[in-house]
Structures are given as C-alpha cells and as structure tokens.
Amino acid sequence: MILAVASGKGGTGKTLVATNMASVAGEVQLVDCDAEEPNVHLFIKPIETEGVIPVTLSLPQIDEGKCTHCGRCAEACEYHALMVLGQQVLLFEELCHGCGACSFVCPEGAISERPKEIGRVEVGKRGSLRLIQGVLHVGEPMPSPVIRKAKALIDPSLMAILDAPPGTSCPVVETVKGADFCCLVTEPTPFGLYDLTLAVGMVKKLGIKMGVVLNRADVGDQGVREYLQGEEIPLLAEIPFDPRISEVCSRGGLVVEELPHYRGLFSSILLKVKELSSGG
C-alpha cells in the first residue's frame, strides 16, 4: 500500500510521524516528497547509496528560420510561458511546465524540445528501509516533476510511506494523489484546525481515505477533536507534548529508537491505517 503523510501547515510533525512509522514497519520504502526542503535523510541516515537520478523538464526551443511568428504557440500555452512580440518569440522558462503543447500546435514544426535539469532523486538504504528523496535545484520553481519522478521509483510490491510537503498546494496534491490512505498530522490549536480543514477538503476531492494524528495533543483546545467527530474522520493516535521528543528530533534521532516506549504508539498508527484502508 501507499500511505501519504500530510498536513495543512508546517511544523505539525509530519516527518516525525513518517520516519518513526517507517522505522517500525519492517521492509518499507520512505519517500521524501518535500523536494524544496528534504530532511528525512537527517533522521534515517542511509548507509548504502543506490544511485542519483537527474530530473529534467522539456523546454521549447524555437527555430527562428522556420518560425512565422503566427502566435499559435503562445495561444496554446496555459501557463503564459511564451509570448510573440513582432518577429520575436519570448520564452519565460520559470513558467514553462514542459507539457509540449506548443510544439504540438506549431504548424511549421519550428519548435523542438531541449532538456533542462531541475533536480534529482537520491536513493539509498538503511537496513530494510529504502529511502527515496526528491531534491529540487536551488532557484527552480516547480517541485512537482521531481515528486513524480520520486514516486515512479516506488516498488509496488512493498509498502511506501510518502512524507508530503506542508500546505495544500500543487506539490502536496502531486504527493497525495494515487495513495491508498492519507494520514493528516495536526495540532490542537486554532491554526492547526484551520489548516486541517483545508487539507481534509483536498483529500476528499482526491477521493482518498484518511485519518488524523494529533501531535502535542495535551496542549491547546478541543476544537480539532470536535471537528473530527463532526466530520466522522478517525483519530488514529494522540502524541503527547513531550520535551524528550523535541530533544531527540533536534539531534536527528528517531523517537522509536531513543524512547522505545513510543514504538507501540507508532505501530498502532500503522495497524489502524491498514485496517481502515482495507475497509475494516
């Protein structure tokens, strides 16, 4: 199965939940889809390196000798990455999504495609855990192609846990779509509740089963619990506000290894996810 770990806001503990669940899951794949700020490797620390795969985007290349400056390419571009000004075609690379529509509609065959490297996917192992990490090059605006490449390397015969970026924007949708279950991590605060409602709406649109993990559960208010009860969304677990967890995370450690009494909590999340995803 594919389990996505997401949230509506940053700092709720997605990576805490994803890395520690993966550490008690046995043979598993952990995919860091936060390509703009990947940090799972700081906790997993892979020992073996399987390889680095470059990620490229196909950008249009205009043959001025063939181009008649008819403007069809600019009309076809949904992202306004092309503009025809008189006898000149302007390309705004940072807006181009590499969809190929411009080359498809060009009546003169004046547009070819050239690859541009925008990131990479790093693959490594630590024991029975395989880490797949997307890394977007600094200055590049679109992590979604890197996320797609990282997900394409998932072995379908093994369980995969996806650590999503924060928020509900395109990179998060790219991460969560196609998952069998989405575990949303939040905190019992008004900010946590507001952003959780956005994330729940996103997951519902994608038609994916979901549950919620409440981090720092013994602070804040009851708003999140009341919301989950009203929406009939299962509460998978409550992680207490424990300064020792913060200390372990600040050192790049795994809670289930340094505070072994928490192993049962993260194992129970996995069990509940498997039950709910199978209809139990």
Output the DSSP codes for 111-162.
EEEEEEEEEEEEEEEETTEEEEEEEEPTT----HHHHHHHHHT--TTSEEEE
- From CA 122, how far away is CA 215, in angstroms rounded? 29
Nearest to 90 by CA among 102, 108, 105: 102
Beta bridge partners of 184: 6, 212
- From CA 242, how far away is CA 257, in angstroms rounded? 15
Whether 153 and 248 have beta carbons less than 8 Å apart is answered as no
Query: 40: which 2 tokens?
Result: 């799972």
**Where in the chain do CATH 3.30.70.20 domains reside?**
57-117
pTM listed for this prediction: 0.93
**Where in the chain do CATH 3.40.50.300 domains reside?**
2-55+119-277
At 280 the pLDDT is 54
At 9 the pLDDT is 82
Whether 143 and 36 have beta carbons less than 8 Å apart is answered as yes
Architecture of domain 57-117: 2-Layer Sandwich (3.30)
| Residue whose tokens read 């409440």 | 214
Whether 193 and 184 have beta carbons less than 8 Å apart is answered as no
DSSP annotation of 14: H
Q: What is the pLDDT of residues 73-122, one digit of tens each?
A: 999 999 999 999 999 999 999 999 999 999 999 999 999 999 999 999 99
Q: What is the pLDDT of residues 162-191, one digit of tens each?
A: 999 999 999 999 999 999 999 999 999 999
At 278 the pLDDT is 83
pLDDT higher than threshold 70 for residue 47? yes
- From CA 163, how far away is CA 70, in angstroms rounded? 45
Q: What is the pLDDT of residues 232-273, one digit of tens each?
A: 999 999 999 999 999 999 999 999 999 999 999 999 999 999
At 76 the pLDDT is 97
| Residue whose tokens read 């369980």 | 159
At 10 the pLDDT is 84
Q: What is the pLDDT of residues 196-233, one digit of tens each?
A: 999 999 999 999 999 999 999 999 899 999 999 999 99
pLDDT higher than threshold 90 for residue 65? yes
Q: What is the pLDDT of residues 150-163, one digit of tens each?
A: 999 999 999 999 99
Residue 248: HSE in the Cβ half-sphere, 13 Å Cα cutoff: 20
State whether CATH 3.40.50.300 applies to domain 2-55+119-277: yes
Nearest to 185 by CA among 203, 205, 207: 203
